[in-house]
Chains A and B, each alone.
Chain A
Amino acid sequence: MRAGWARAAARCGAVGLAVVLGACGGTGAPGPRTTGTAALPPAPPLASTAVTADAALVVVPMGDLGQALNTFWELFVRPTGAATWTLVTPPGVADNGGLVVSPAVTGGSLLAGFEPSQDLEYSPLARSTDQGATWSPGLVPGGLAPTPDAVATTGSVSVALLRRGGGAVVHAGEDGTWSTLVDRAALGRTAAGRRCGVAALGAVALGPDGTVFVGAACRHHVTGVFAGVGGTWQLVAPPPGGDGATRVVRLVDAGASIEALVDAPERASPRLVAVAVGGAGRVAVSPPLALPPHSRLVATGTGAGGGFVVLSAAPGRGDAVEVEEGGAGSWERLPAPPPGTAAVAQGPGGTVDALVVASTRYSDWRLDPRTGTWSRMGTVTVPIAFGSSS
């Protein structure tokens, strides 16, 4: 009796061990490293900056940041050569849900999209051809995805990333009619999508020749930058390093190349790499920027001619600004920005501005590269209508 019990226990133990080993992937076949959805890097913040040959743009949240309905997203522009920032938030729509703005590389065109908010489920757009001085209304067929690169434009052609079904890319030609190019499920079914293990779509960009690029969060250890070429979708960048799932944080047209900022965490800590995809299949990957554990991105920005600027915050360490000059170059850490910095803009003209927000006050602090100190250049008081959306 006792021997029978022992045999049964041994059998149970063996089966249990096999199950555990199986669950741990002990007999797994070779393939891309896979992580669960929970291990995806966090979605990027909407606060962003962009610099073109003509101007620098900043999108930051202002008002009472503790209350969603009293948080308003504001767009400021500083034309090249101008000393001060001007509030150019497109009027006519409540932007408590968020505001995303994409500049055309040249020509002064801006395409702004309003994120859905409260009972408004679709996203109005606003277009400007004069750096935000005047706007004309537009519309996408759905709600924009909550990501800084949810819209992109060349001036005549636009793409947008909608939030339905984990992301759907829509495209509008010169006639302004939107049509769906691909969605998360369809992209996930392609060969490239299967390699990525597409968890969500997170960014869109337009190449100089009209090629549509899509950035994704990948469950597998792959850089999720897809290019729509000849009716198919192809991954265009090598793995980004790190040890798990990845997410494309930014994806922009830098003129000479499409540049992506990719979060490829290592040991659960954020780890950023810049990827530059040039013509003729030339791809460059920057050295990694390893952020301290539990860091979070506060804002991201793109520089004129490429490159990224990243504002991050780490518990107990304060805020940090890191700059990558473009072409997947190396990262440089700038002096700690002033307290309350909401975004950092790199340019125009080689300047670096820290934009500090306190309720309705927007202050511009500029870095003196010789002394490494920040000096306040000016303050704009924004006429926020508190309570107008509640």
Chain B
Amino acid sequence: MPGMGTYLQTRNPVVVSAFHSALLHQFEIVLAVVAVLSLVFNVLRTSQYRRALSAGTIEAAPGGRAWGAGPEPAARRLLRIGSGLLWIGDGLLQLQPGMPLGMAPGVLSPSAASSPGWVQHLVNVGVGIWSRHPVQAAAATVWIQVGIGALLLLAPRPRWSRLAGVAALAWGLVVWSFGEAFGGVFGHGASFLFGTPGAALFYCAAGALLALPESRWAGDRLGRTVLRLLGVLWVGAAVLQAWPGRGSWQGAPHGAPSGSLAAMVDQMAQTSQPGVVASWVRAFGRFDAAHGWGVNLVVVAALAAVGAACWSRDRRVLRAGAVGAVVLCLADWVLVQDMGFFGGLGTDPNSMIPLALLVVAGYVAVVRAAAPVVAPVVARPPDPAPVAGAGAGRSGHDGEAGPRRRRWDDLTPGALSRALLAVAAVGVVLIGAVPMAAAGADPHADPILATAADGTPDVVDTPAPGFRLEDQRGRPVSLAGLRGRTVALTFLDPVCTSDCPVIAQEFKQADGLLGADARRVVMVAIVVNPIYRSLAFTNAFDRQEGLDHLANWLYLTGSVSALERVWDAYGVEADVTPAGAMVDHSDLAYVIDARGHTREVLSADPGDGAADASSFAVYLTDAVDTVLHR
């Protein structure tokens, strides 16, 4: 019925089921990749063993070469493992069943709500892609983030590990811009305590640091730079928090509007969460409501003190600053940010955990600065003794006879397995990235949305009721006269304000999607308004919808009695409703084959968004295509 659009619930079972199926299918691919790489591992190890055996160096193999440049600096290792775990955690949060349909309206769009138009425009690009391909996008995000996390944890150093950093930086930028609207930095009411400048920006920073050559981690310079940049951020946050007129100094005095922090904490207390956390949040909320000015004074002072400490050259001050920063981050994370993922569709633990990780990594880089790396330390196995008659291949040294040595011959089993696991992790990222790229390039929505909204079509094979009406040019048209061509049939009110123009566009879009097959198809609409039914209205509607130049488009009308017979025959209700409502009618579409038999009956309710409409166009195209080639 027009105006009674089907609104997809976030946990629509059809979409959730498709999401789980996609994840399962992709997981099977991941398992296959791992299985293949295990096989590769065994082949390589066998090859290593045989070559070592033939070279007489069987004992030397376990002590073979490991990739890398000596021990990894402690700060880098901390940042790498921490980032890897965070990315995997984020990926797992994307598994929530409401993610396909809830992400765009519940997370992406609201994140840009207070931002300027150009930010909203940019975010809308992401919203459009996600809305048109919710299952593909949600599943892709899972694998991209889990893959990046795995790559960070497993990739051998230095190159693959740096590549992981680049991947984290690149995907972090995508998330920060399209998913977080730049962390709200361009929006009104941005607050460091609530998440500005965005968790993804800190993920990007971590990725950028991991992408640096390991030599940069030698000495304390990088650590100090990180801490000083973070110090600027903390002091900036203090200034922002102290700025008058932003509601930061206000609690929730009786009868007065709540201050920004009190309002945020109050909102957080409303979300579903464990009882212990809820009691902490509520207690803090009450305290802030009563002592808003004092709480903000402490917050401003703490932010400024931490920021100043980050610039100190004294390691004791730095330690105090780092401890203070971590305590502040944890307090804000629990009491204000609600750990980031409670209530709604949490996609990450918000900004405070990655920020704390950066602070600690920066501090460790200063206090446990590694000695400058002079040259890569390569543990080579002893050169194998030449074996007479062992073949004409090259050993590792020119001019020496012996079996030809391969790059992996010198690797330890651990290094080899890590290399292969890194390849697997890249594969996991690609399992997400390739469908995501394909989704971004496809302007048409997945038909799953139409299926979710309207159900699966009824597949039948019965003679379609005949009709004899006149088209928009006044020429008589009958169903029998259309025999030999497939007919996509629907019922449209020419003065309808909501569904009918959308359905008309869906038919027009489906006609385009059919390509050359459209010549064998007639797109037919029959007027479903007993009052506004003359040719003047069908022509006005066609002009409005740009259908007046569509060669295979027919908009049929006739006398009220003729129309009523057709409506009855096709099960279409058309009720004239008083008091300013439009004619209440069914949204149905029929696909009639060349023999004049109804083959599919589809609900054509266009739902509530452009993505749903685009989805129905693809859905209708598939149905027509099936009937054409059945």
Contact = CB atoms under 8 A, between A and B. Distances in A.
A74 B502 contact: no
Contacts of B581: 72, 94, 384-385, 388-389
Contacts of B501: 119-120
A69 B131 CA distance: 24
A290 interface: no
Q: 8 tightest A-B contacts by CB?
A: A72-B580, A92-B531, A119-B501, A94-B582, A385-B581, A95-B580, A118-B497, A388-B581
Nearest to A136: B531
B312 interface: no
8 contacts: A91-B576, A91-B578, A119-B500, A120-B501, A121-B544, A124-B537, A388-B584, A389-B2
A75 to B, nearest CB: 9
Contacts of B2: 388-389
Interface in A77-114: 87, 89, 91-97, 99, 114
A124 B495 contact: yes
A139 interface: yes
Contact of A87 (B3, B496, B537, B578): B578
Interface in A170-207: none
A137 B4 contact: no
Given A96-B497, A385-B579, A389-B3, 13 more contacts: A92-B576, A93-B582, A94-B3, A94-B498, A118-B498, A120-B496, A120-B544, A124-B495, A124-B537, A383-B579, A387-B4, A388-B4, A390-B5
Contacts of B534: 137
A254 to B, nearest CB: 29
Interface in B1-26: 2-5
B514 interface: no
A122 interface: yes
A308 interface: no
A114 B501 CA distance: 17
A387 B7 CA distance: 13
Contacts of A388: 2-4, 577, 581-582, 584
Interface residues of A, number: 34
Interface string B499-519: 011100000000000000000
Contacts of A365: none
A99 B529 CA distance: 19
Contacts of B495: 92-94, 114, 120, 124
A71 to B, nearest CB: 9
Interface residues of B, number: 29
Contacts of A137: 531-532, 534, 537
Nearest to B1: A388
Nearest to A384: B579
A385 B584 contact: yes
B583 interface: yes
B497 to A, nearest CB: 4
B536 interface: yes
A137 B557 CA distance: 15
B3 A387 contact: yes
- Among A93, A117, A382, A390, the most chain B Cβ lie within 10 Å of the Cβ of A93
Given A137-B532, A388-B3, A382 B579 contact: yes
B540 interface: yes
A45 to B, nearest CB: 17
Given A387-B4, A389-B3, A93 B532 contact: yes
A344 to B, nearest CB: 21
A363 B497 CA distance: 29
A74 B497 contact: no
Given A92-B495, A119-B502, A388-B2, A124 B579 contact: no
A226 interface: no
B6 to A, nearest CB: 12
Contact of B529 (A92, A114, A122): A92
A73 interface: yes
A151 B594 CA distance: 48
Contacts of B544: 120-122
Contacts of B578: 87, 89, 91, 383
Contacts of B497: 93-94, 96-97, 117-120, 389
B498 A119 contact: yes
Nearest to A87: B579
A94 B529 CA distance: 12
A97 B3 CA distance: 15
Interface string B528-547: 01111010110010001000
A139 B498 contact: no
A96 B536 contact: no
Contacts of A69: 3
A118 B499 CA distance: 10
Interface string B580-615: 111110000000000000000000000000000000
A382 B579 CA distance: 7
A124 B536 CA distance: 10
Contacts of A120: 495-497, 501, 544
A117 to B, nearest CB: 5
Contacts of A385: 577, 579, 581, 584
A122 B576 CA distance: 20
B580 A89 contact: yes
Nearest to A387: B3
Contacts of A390: 3, 5, 498
Contacts of B532: 92-93, 124, 137
Given A387-B4, A390-B498, A96 B580 contact: yes
A121 B581 CA distance: 17
Contacts of A73: 580
Interface in B454-491: none
A95 B5 CA distance: 18
A120 to B, nearest CB: 4
Contacts of A119: 496-498, 500-502
Interface in A346-390: 382-385, 387-390
B537 A139 contact: yes
Nearest to B500: A119
Contact of B579 (A74, A114, A117, A139): A74
Interface in B525-579: 529-532, 534, 536-537, 540, 544, 576-579
- Among B5, B502, B579, the most chain A Cβ lie within 10 Å of the Cβ of B579
B4 to A, nearest CB: 7
B496 A91 contact: no
B583 to A, nearest CB: 6
A112 to B, nearest CB: 11
Contacts of A384: 579-581
Nearest to B536: A139
Interface in A130-159: 135, 137, 139
Contacts of B502: 119
A72 B3 CA distance: 14
B130 to A, nearest CB: 24
A124 B582 CA distance: 12
Contacts of A92: 495, 529-532, 576, 582-583
B577 A91 contact: yes
B472 to A, nearest CB: 14
A96 B502 CA distance: 18
A203 B277 CA distance: 63
Nearest to B540: A122
B249 to A, nearest CB: 31
B495 to A, nearest CB: 5
Nearest to A124: B495
B604 to A, nearest CB: 15
A122 to B, nearest CB: 5
A121 B544 CA distance: 7
A74 B580 contact: yes
Nearest to A119: B501
A137 B576 CA distance: 14
Nearest to A125: B532
A61 B3 CA distance: 19
- Among A92, A122, A384, the most chain B Cβ lie within 10 Å of the Cβ of A92
Contacts of A389: 2-3, 497-498, 581-582
B124 to A, nearest CB: 20
